[in-house]
Structure 1
Amino acid sequence: MEYIPVIILVLSFISLLLIGVPVAWSIAISSLLTMMVSIPTLPALTTVSQRIGTGLDSFALLAIPFFVLSGQLMNKGGIAHRLIAFAKTLVGSLPGGLALINIISAMLMGAIAGSAMASASAMGSILGPEMEKEGYSKEFGAAVNITSSTTGLIIPPSNVLIVYSLASGGVSIAALFLAGYIPGILTGLFLMIVASFWAKKKKYKVGKRSSLKEVVKTFIDAFPSLMLLVVVIGGIVTGIFTATEASAIAVLYTLVLGFWYKEISVKDIPQILLDSCGTTAIVMLLIGASMSMSWIMSYENIPQDISSLLLGVSDNPIIILLIINLLLLFVGIFMDMTPAVLIFTPIFLPIITKLGMDPVQFGIVMVLNLCIGLCTPPVGSVLFVGVGIANTTIEKVVKPLLPLFVSMIIALFLVTYIPGLTLWLPKLFGL
């Protein structure tokens, strides 16, 4: 009898996903069905509704709509063009130069906009046609764009890290933001190495070397955009403002920047606000539904059961972390990142705490792991955006994607087993 709630939760959730029910509603309905096993229908409905509401009752979550809005303003404000121009002067003359430009620009754009899909959309639209014109295959261009776009979810500011802070019971957002820099840059470097080797093998065209004057000019042009990272992260780390306050400052900064670059006008604002509201509504519904499922799992003692099961398999931290990583890789294939973080953090956090792993490190490991899921079918949102913009198919993109996947997995395991990669910067700043 004790396993019936678990069976109903898992089977109903998977069944709803298979018949095409949206993820948020699949989570909410399967949570409701599970509660109805333990208590009558009316209290079950009340409990799930209440948990969806209280799940959104968090000051930290106010940062998400603001960061979404700042990302929309950045996307419309001509930031991508300036970042690409700057990246072109740095790596344009190396083998696979345009692919490397895509990766560096995506790292910068993703970090500034805080959205993998915004980065994939911007980079794919601008660099995709240029790469094709220079002889690159559209499938290779799409693969590079898809994988590199996820680095901005690790390099702060990142909405997903804020969600992890909420799910983990209050891990420092400032510490998580600082912890994301080295793993994010490391992942980007591995992607660049693979892209460069692939481009050299395929003998893609190499661009001309930029002069120091061109580098300085493009850097000055991109400097105001890059300063957003300094303002936001610097303010959070030094304690001048919280992550939520930083998100509001980011909106003000990007709005001023958009008008300064003359890429945004007053008539563009209503559409930007509407787009931001739509994205925020989707994210918040996912968060609310996921928080209800997380509470129900706790009510049914599922995290404790899984913890006992895993620790019963082995007491070797290396083996347990390997199993958790494999489980999260599997979860990322079928579930969007936000609900996955909210549902599985309460399950795995007690386990890694018993193993002596820092919750900050685990947050980065979890997000980096789930980033790979964004690039895989059937729920890989970034995969579908990248393939759609490149006007190709998933089947054709798989071949150039595979070596890039391998590089991301290598980065994941390095971050998992070398704590210094994530904890060095937070410790340096006393967090």
Structure 2
Amino acid sequence: MNDPGIATFLLIGGFFILMILRVPITFSLAAAAIVTATYLNIPLMAIVQQMVQGVRSFSLLAIPFFIVMGEIMGQGGIAQKMIDLANVFVGRIRGGLAMVNCVDSMFFGGISGSAVADVASTGSIILPMMKLKGYDEDFSVAITVTSSTQGVIIPPSHNMILYSLAAGGVSVGRLFLAGYIPGITLGLSLMLISYIIAKKRNYPKEDKVSFKQAIKIFRDAFLGLFTAVIIMGGVITGIFTATESAAIAVVYAFFITFFVYRQ
């Protein structure tokens, strides 16, 4: 009989040793799992069956759809439009770009459902802007990474979909609704902290946007924001499931990116 303690060490210890050796996480997990399964004499066919069973879930399809949608919108210039819209609301406050960073994460996190997509798409735009305006690099990176966590809380959230599957039958729509208040509260808290730091370090305000410019910016960003309406409206009203809404959102994002914005 194989020792469970040794098996645990092989799984966890092997993973961390490979991570220390700078092996990519994917390969570290796979290698540790294979070594542990071999030690426990688990049949190869059983491992394959469990792997297939783990991904044979209709609900899990929503996650890659949301990721694809976020990539399309991020590469299609919609991230810049979200930043411009956030600037209309909070740009003229002290430390405006830090505020814009937080508000933009609310917008984009509420569309892509991914903190990684938020950092990749908006961070590449707003970090150079903050550096140009004289923001400290450590503060700029910290607020960008921290505000991106709103994407994990504000719907559509990948984690909520996974929780629904793990808990067994919990309504994804209700989980999405439950994420709004804590997500917005987190965003407002980050904005307050940003304002205090900006006041202390004398970070600049952004130029005031005229009413005419604000209308144009909102008009340009509206189609991107409407993606969240498609996702949440369909799920909450029961017109379609989270997976179906994600698939529709991908088609919609593709259409507005290539045929409306043409970027």
**1:263–1:160 CA distance, 2 compared to 1 (3 A):** farther
Please name the residue that 1:29 is paired with.
31
3-state SS of paired residue (1:180): helix
Deviations 1:174-205 (A, max 9, x none): 12211111111111111111111111111111
Please name the residue that 1:119 is paired with.
118
Q: CA deviation at 1:80?
A: 1.2
Contact 1:90 1:215 in 2 (8 A): no
**CA–CA distance in 1 between the matches of 2:75 and 2:18?**
36
**CA–CA distance in 2 between the matches of 1:79 and 1:229?**
13
Contact 1:111 1:156 in 2 (8 A): yes
2:13 is the counterpart of 1:11: yes
**1:223–1:53 CA distance, 2 compared to 1 (3 A):** same
Q: CA deviation at 1:210?
A: 3.3
Please name the residue that 1:153 is paired with.
152
15-24 or 251-260, larger mean C-alpha shift: 15-24
Root-mean-square deviation (Å): 2.1
Please name the residue that 1:412 is paired with.
none
Q: CA deviation at 1:234?
A: 0.9
**CA–CA distance in 2 between the matches of 1:160 and 1:149?**
14
Q: Which runs of 5+ in 1 are unaligned?
A: 265-431
**CA–CA distance in 1 between the matches of 2:200 and 2:70?**
36
Contact 1:115 1:152 in 2 (8 A): yes
2:218 is the counterpart of 1:219: yes
Contact 1:100 1:192 in 2 (8 A): yes
3-state SS of paired residue (1:207): coil
Please name the residue that 1:253 is paired with.
252
3-state SS of paired residue (1:240): coil
Contact 2:173 2:236 in 1 (8 A): yes
Matches of residues 384-423 of structure 1 in structure 2 within 5 Å?
Answer: none
Structure 1 moving runs of 4+ over 6 Å = none
Deviations 1:352-394 (A, max 9, x none): xxxxxxxxxxxxxxxxxxxxxxxxxxxxxxxxxxxxxxxxxxx
Matches of residues 325-364 of structure 1 in structure 2 within 5 Å?
Answer: none
Matches of residues 85-104 of structure 1 in structure 2 within 5 Å?
Answer: 85-104=84-103
Please name the residue that 1:410 is paired with.
none
117-126 or 90-99, larger mean C-alpha shift: 117-126
**1:129–1:48 CA distance, 2 compared to 1 (3 A):** same
Q: CA deviation at 1:63?
A: 1.4
Please name the residue that 1:68 is paired with.
67
Please name the residue that 1:58 is paired with.
57
Q: CA deviation at 1:139?
A: 2.6
Matches of residues 234-383 of structure 1 in structure 2 within 5 Å?
Answer: 234-264=233-263
Identity, in percent, stands at: 44
**CA–CA distance in 2 between the matches of 1:83 and 1:238?**
26
Contact 2:74 2:122 in 1 (8 A): no
TM-score when normalising by structure 1: 0.56
**CA–CA distance in 2 between the matches of 1:80 and 1:125?**
10
Deviations 1:217-274 (A, max 9, x none): 322221111111111111011110011111110011111111343333xxxxxxxxxx
Q: CA deviation at 1:161?
A: 2.2
**CA–CA distance in 2 between the matches of 1:22 and 1:129?**
28
2:82 is the counterpart of 1:83: yes
**CA–CA distance in 1 between the matches of 2:65 and 2:94?**
39
Matches of residues 121-140 of structure 1 in structure 2 within 5 Å?
Answer: 121-140=120-139
**1:13–1:260 CA distance, 2 compared to 1 (3 A):** same
TM-score when normalising by structure 2: 0.90
Amino acid aligned to 1:191? L
**CA–CA distance in 2 between the matches of 1:131 and 1:5?**
49
**CA–CA distance in 1 between the matches of 2:19 and 2:7?**
18
Contact 1:31 1:48 in 2 (8 A): no
3-state SS of paired residue (2:140): helix
**CA–CA distance in 1 between the matches of 2:66 and 2:153?**
15
**CA–CA distance in 2 between the matches of 1:125 and 1:13?**
31
Q: CA deviation at 1:4?
A: 4.1
Contact 2:85 2:217 in 1 (8 A): yes
**CA–CA distance in 1 between the matches of 2:169 and 2:193?**
37
**CA–CA distance in 2 between the matches of 1:131 and 1:215?**
21
Contact 1:155 1:184 in 2 (8 A): yes
2:46 is the counterpart of 1:44: no
Amino acid aligned to 2:16? I
**1:95–1:121 CA distance, 2 compared to 1 (3 A):** same
**CA–CA distance in 1 between the matches of 2:233 and 2:108?**
18
Please name the residue that 1:397 is paired with.
none
Amino acid aligned to 1:83? M
**1:132–1:15 CA distance, 2 compared to 1 (3 A):** closer
**CA–CA distance in 2 between the matches of 1:145 and 1:68?**
19
